[in-house]
Amino acid sequence: MTPPEAPMDGSNASTGDAPPAVSLRLTTLTKRSDFLRASRAKRVAMPGFIVQMRVRPEGEAEGIRVGFTCSKKVGNAVARNRAKRRLREIARLVLSEAGRDGADYVLIGRQGATATLPFDQMLADLRRALAVLHGPRK
């Protein structure tokens, strides 16, 4: 079966202005030591989550790294997983365009808010938090 947007003459479909099918994959923090280093760095609290940002020294790896955490205060396993899924999605959408190369970001879920706030508000909050963390443009 031919998809409706495929050309009928056998030529390739035009790429146009459509976003790429594969998005930028952020490297995920997994080691406790990375989370502890980020906890001693700058942080901004928003209604739905807390963002911590640590700028890595020159010798460390390149790229944007991000970690996610939710304590048991957020709720049971289902609530924590939902909150982390939402944090992963806002990080994927916002950090790929507004994140700084060579920085570690940790997003921490908040009780009763991360899983229930409107998604658009969470996106706007992350953009605002990054503007505060990155400081004024030079």
| β-pair type (103-109, 49-55) | antiparallel
Q: Confirm whether pTM is higher than 0.85.
A: no
- Domains along the chain with CATH numbers: 32-133 (3.30.230.10)
The pLDDT tens digits for 67-78 are 999 999 999 999
The pLDDT tens digits for 36-85 are 999 999 999 999 999 999 998 888 777 899 999 999 999 999 999 999 99
How far does Cα 135 stand from its chain's mean position? 19
Calculate the dihedral angle through the C-alpha atoms of 123, 128, 129, 131, rounding to the nearest 10 degrees. Answer: 130
Q: Which residue has the tokens 């991360």?
A: 114
Q: Which residue has the tokens 């479909």?
A: 13
Q: Rounded to whole angstroms, how far apart are CA atoms 54 and 38?
A: 5
